[in-house]
Amino acid sequence: MAKPADLEVRLGVTFKNAELLQKALVHSSYVNENPEAAPESNERLEFLGDAVLGLAIADELFAAYPGQDEGKLTEMRAHLVRRDTLANAAERLQLGEELLLGRGEDEGGGRSRPTNLSHIYEALVGAIFLDQGLAPARDFVLRSLEDEIESVKDGGSPLDAKSRLQELCQSRFQSTPIYELVESEGPDHKRKFTVEAIVDGQTRGKGTGPSKQQAEKRAAREALRELEQ
C-alpha cells in the first residue's frame, strides 16, 4: 500500500479519520487470512457508497436534463454506476495497487479484476461520506467520473467500447469483431496482456492492459477511433 498521503493526493481528499480510508481498502479475502489484523472488510462501506454514488449521479443528471423523461435518466444513470465504468475510474486512480488482498486473490489477478476495482471505488465513496458528509463525497464522484459524465451529456453512447464496436461491425460489415491475444508477459500476479481487435479480417486496434478484458476494451476503443474516422 502507498503512503496514505500519496493516495489522498490522487483522490483529492484528506481524511479526518484515517481508519475509514484504511477500511475501504480491505478485501474480504484479506480478512479471511488475517482476521486479527483486519477484522472487517470494505463490504459495508461498499454498500453505503453504492447508495451515495447513485444519489450523486441522479442529482447531477436531474439538474442537467430538466426536460428529460425518467426512462432516459435511468438509462444514463445505469451506465454511469455500472461495474465497468467504476472499474475504469478506479484504474485511473490506481486503486488496485492499494487493495489489501489475500494471497490467493492477489496471485489470481485480483488487483485488476473489474469487480474488485468497482467495489473499492464504492467503498471509498462510502468512506468519504462518513468522514466528511455528502457534499465532499458528491464532489469526488463528479470529479472522478468527469469524463464519463461529460460523454453522456454530449450524447455519447451509454454502451461500452466493445458493445459499440460490435454494433458498428454488424451494421457496416454484417460480422462481429474478433479479439486475438497476441502477447502475455510478466509474473502471474502482475500480468500484461496485448490484444488485437480484428474487424472484417483486418487488425483495426491494439490494446494492452493488466487483464484480457481491459486489453480488449482498449483495442476496441482504438478500432472505433479508426473506423469512425
Q: Residue 42: phi, psi to the nearest 5?
A: -85, 10
What is the amino acid identity at position 92? R
Q: What whole-number distance in Å separates Cα of residue 218 and Cα of residue 212?
A: 10
**For this structure, is 122 an active site residue?**
yes
Q: Given the DSSP bridges, would you call strands 178-185 and 202-209 parallel, antiparallel or unpaired?
A: unpaired
**For this structure, is 97 an active site residue?**
no
| Candidates 46, 84, 122, 196; catalytic one | 122
DSSP string, 125-168: HHHHHHHH-HHHHHHHHHHHTHHHHHHHHTT--SS-HHHHHHHH
Q: Which three cell numbers stand for residue 159?
A: 454502451
Task: Give all strands (DSSP E) within the chain, no chain letters.
Answer: 178-185, 192-199, 202-209
Q: What whole-number distance in Å separates Cα of residue 158 and Cα of residue 163?
A: 10
Q: Which residues are catalytic?
A: 50, 122
